[in-house]
Amino acid sequence: MSSYFTDLAQQYIDGEWRPGTGSWDIIDFNPYDGEKLASITIATVDEVDDAYRAAERAQKKWGATNAYARRAVFEKALAVIDEREEEITEVIIAELGGTRLKAAFELHLVREFLRESVQLALRPEGKIIPSPVDGKENRLYRVPVGVVGVISPFNFPFLLSVKSVAPALALGNGVVLKPHQNTPIAGGSLVAKIFEEAGLPGGLLNVVITDIAEIGDAFIEHPVPKVISFTGSDKVGRHVATVCAANFKRSVLELGGNSALVVLEDADIDYAVDAAVFSRFVHQGQVCMAANRVLVDRSIEAEFTEKFVAKVKKLKTGDPRDPQTVIGPVINSSQADALSGVVEQAITEGATALLHGTTTDNLVEPSVLTGVPAYSDLLRQEVFGPVVFLVPFDGEEEAVRIVNDTPYGLSGAVHTADIERGVNFAKQIDTGMFHVNDGTVHDEPLVPFGGEKHSGIGRLNGETTVDSFTTTKWISVQHGRSRFPF
């Protein structure tokens, strides 16, 4: 087992590794076999304050550092990840129950976002804005917000921590990161260790491993951070947004989804099956962009369903360390129980289980359900696991209505032989992202990532990241003398 679970089972504050001073420990378990990986004494409100104050102090000098010098840290971080690839893979497998395929996918994206951060350090640009006043020069500067608080989730913790931490740092900010309690190493102290080895000055990145039962809203209410970047459920996101608004902070919210993959009658059925299976079952379906619903034109429903179920049956569920495993464990027993409840509710409401997977501890085998009644809440909520609903439709108009009939609006996909037909379909869907002839699970460093409705507020990636983690400052210069009315 990786030494990271012993060496990194601490808080990282002001450039120092230190234990928390809370009265209880967060126990980090392997979701596959229940092995205790680490025991971490939680951070208190005082440690949260220490972390934010350290970031505030360190940021002043960092924000004034030449952007070309800042980017060297991210180049070195890439080299550290290359050197530690196997160890990081072990952490993802053990702490998340991620398969080797999933670990490779996550590491690939982390590298892509770090490469973008190298460039992001040089991205902010100022402007000269015309003035109606003679002799007036309006300068618009793009400056760091100061300190950013980052709260990351358990499903892609390494990626989704780095995705906010790296650009916030590249743009000249200090950062305090609070990882999810189920993934304190992959989502927290591992990130700190990589940047420490990459030469990031102490105090700029701090990691507090704690729980709201201990600190309440202290992480988001604290006066130092100007932006809170949160990835997680819409329920918690609503609370984060409310507290941020009450404290005049900006919030960037990447929340849940209920994506649909739509198969029109002229689609390549075999290809659509492949896309749909990946879109639903990657990382056990614990992905905000996952295709909870697969909509199929009734004229091809029988053929698609037969091929889809046959492919899902071949997915191996089991030990994530086995390279042949596609479906590893879900993150904890509560999640496993909730998924069993979803399947039973669907059947009670009249659905047919074309595939009814069993649950053993945290291993949840895939379930494929059809005939879920249109009134069912299951079709409108996020299902975070390997359960999928097949929904037939008659014509595009009905498909659009069904896809939009959910409070969420994150991602989605449509398959058709006519690309422009697909684009026209995509334009009618209330989502932040939609894909033609592909899967629903995508993230790229330059393309704005985010959702509509309950799927979030704001965007990350590329120029939208600059907008999220910097602010504009107007400085005017009057050449000559102004005239005042009195």
Residue 425 has pLDDT above 80, yes or no: yes
- Tell me the average pLDDT across 224-242: 97
The conformation of residue 460, written as its DSSP 8-state character, comes to: B
**Token pair of 466, please?**
């600059």
Q: Which two tokens stand for residue 46?
A: 């005082």
Side chain identity, residue 22: G
Q: Residue 276 is inside which H or E element, if any?
A: helix 269-281
**In the 8-state DSSP scheme, what is residue 181?**
T
User: CA-CA distance, 263 to 260, in Å (whole number)?
Assistant: 10
Query: How would you class 10 by CB atoms within 10 Å of its CB: exposed for 0-12, middle for 13-18, buried for 19 or more?
Result: buried
What residues does each domain of the chain span? 4-255+455-474, 259-436
pLDDT of residue 221: 98
CATH of domain 259-436: 3.40.309.10
> Residue 2's pLDDT is what?
67
**pLDDT band with cut points at 50, 70 and 90 for residue 1:** low
Question: From CA 372, how far away is CA 299, in angstroms rounded?
Answer: 19
Phi-psi region at 462: left, alpha or beta (left = phi > 0; alpha = psi -120 to 50): left
Phi-psi sector, 240: left (phi>0), alpha (psi -120 to 50), beta: alpha
Task: Burial-class residue 199 by CB neighbours within 10 Å (0-12, 13-18, 19+).
Answer: exposed
Is residue 152 predicted with pLDDT exceeding 60?
Answer: yes
Whole-number pLDDT of residue 139: 98
Amino acid 6: pLDDT: 94
pLDDT per position as a tens digit, 91-130: 999 999 999 999 999 999 999 999 999 998 888 889 999 9
User: How many angstroms separate the most distant Cα atoms in the chain?
Assistant: 83
pLDDT over 60 (residue 192): yes
Active site residues: 254, 288
* Average pLDDT score, the chain: 97
Kindly state the average pLDDT of the residues 168-192: 98
| pLDDT at res. 187 | 98
pLDDT value of position 19: 97
Residues 409 and 457: beta-carbon distance below 8 Å: no
Cα angle 429-435-438, degrees, rounded to a multiple of 5:
140
CATH code linked to domain 4-255+455-474: 3.40.605.10
Which two three-digit tokens encode residue 11? 């808080």
Question: What is the tens place of the pLDDT at every residue in 268-279?
Answer: 999 999 999 999
Looking at residues 282-309, what average pLDDT do you find? 98
Residue 3 in this model has a pLDDT that exceeds 90: no
Tell me the percentage of the chain whose pLDDT exceeds 70. 100
Q: Are 173 and 469 in contact (CB under 8 A)?
A: yes
